[in-house]
Amino acid sequence: MNIISLQIPTDEYYYLLDHNEFNDWVSSEIVKQINACNFHRIFVFGRSKTGKCVQKLLKDSCIGFVDSMNIHELKNYDFDAIFLATSPLHYPVIKKKIISLLPDKNFQTIELFQGSYNFKINLIFETQPRSGTNYTVNNLVKCCNWGYADVFQNEPNSNFLRSPDGRFRFIQSTYKNGYIVKAHFTKTLHYPEYRFVKTLFQISYIFDSYYSWGRSLAEKFSDRNYKLEWQSEEWQILQGFIDLNRKWLDYINNKFFLRYEDYYLNFENTIHQLKNYLGVDGLNNFEKPIKNRNRMYWSNDYNKYIDRKVMTTLVRNFYPFIENIGLRN
């Protein structure tokens, strides 16, 4: 496999994401360079908007789409090139996959954009909102010298830069050993390009999670008398996430996940499991959490924090899961 890079600036990828098309200069540059290569049988890797825009420009030279699920089938075809129509962030992983599956084929691989090839994602950290997410993230950033990124920064600012695929933003740092990307089940990175990135899940006691989530939506962090009421605007919002939350909990049930409460119940064992899962040498500076006695997990004082109808709804929807994972041990 030989590599041809068209060296289109990465900023043009952002233009594509925003406008659903290439600008005129990019379109003409792609056509000019492909014609110069004299390629007539090209597979396009990626079926999203980038792939469709590339297909439109290649016209009859495009003989089909491939992705990581079916690229192995190309061993039975004659073709000139595979055109990578994905974010440049994923070029290294995709090329490694192509080489492993098509070691004996003679073809060219075409990279469209200049890439942030050194941008390394060590971990996607996907959680239940208000489940100790920042506690774990901050400790891993500190202990592993990782950079920080998340999927929630929608607008550019002086601190966060957009990732090459536009799906998250990150704080740029030269001296970090890769990045941790924070996500919730409400906004994930469940895309084929991330299938090879290690993902860690974290949950917490459902009632504490929804109470704290509601409190954050109501912006009443300083109100010690806050109660999640059935008629409240925040509860109406939260109800809209319950079905998705149930599906997510079912999805992670057979995967490795952390329970926020386990940091309190057995800190040493939890850190040991975390080290083994991440494959890191040490988490010696991982700080123990300070127990919040107001959490319902410890106090059982549900009536003080949650309306009875809210409590009934949460029990009806989530109790089987809570019972299955033994969260009340």
Which residues of the chain are modeled with pLDDT < 50? 117, 327-329
In 10 A of CB 302, how many CB atoms?
Answer: 16
Tally the domains of the chain. Answer: 2
Q: Which two tokens stand for residue 257?
A: 């996940």
Q: Chain centroid to CA 202: how far?
A: 13
Decide: helix, strand or coil at residue 244.
helix
Tell me, what CATH number does 133's domain have? 3.40.50.300
- Give the domain-ending residue among 97, 113, 129: 113
Q: Is residue 262 part of a domain?
A: yes
Specify the pTM: 0.67
Residues 176, 143 share a domain: yes
Range of the structural domain that residue 86 is part of: 2-113
Q: Which two tokens stand for residue 44?
A: 């396009």
Residues 219, 73 share a domain: no
CA distance 6 to 49: 18
Q: Chain-wide mean pLDDT for the chain?
A: 86
In 10 A of CB 245, how many CB atoms?
Answer: 23
Tell me, what CATH number does 23's domain have? 3.40.50
pLDDT in tens, 153-187: 665 555 767 666 667 777 766 566 788 899 999 98
Residues 225, 128 share a domain: yes
Residues 305, 182 share a domain: yes
Looking at residue 191, what is its pLDDT? 72
Residues contacting residue 124 through CB under 8 Å, at least 6 positions apart: 180, 181, 183, 189, 194, 197, 198, 199, 200
Q: Classify residue 197 by its DSSP letter.
A: S
Residues 29, 102 share a domain: yes
Residues contacting residue 88 through CB under 8 Å, at least 6 positions apart: 10, 13, 111, 112, 113, 114, 115, 116, 117, 164, 165
* Phi, psi of 43, rounded to the nearest 5 degrees: -95, 140
Q: Is residue 329 part of a domain?
A: no
Looking at residue 288, what is its pLDDT? 93
Residues 313, 191 share a domain: yes
Residues 271, 147 share a domain: yes
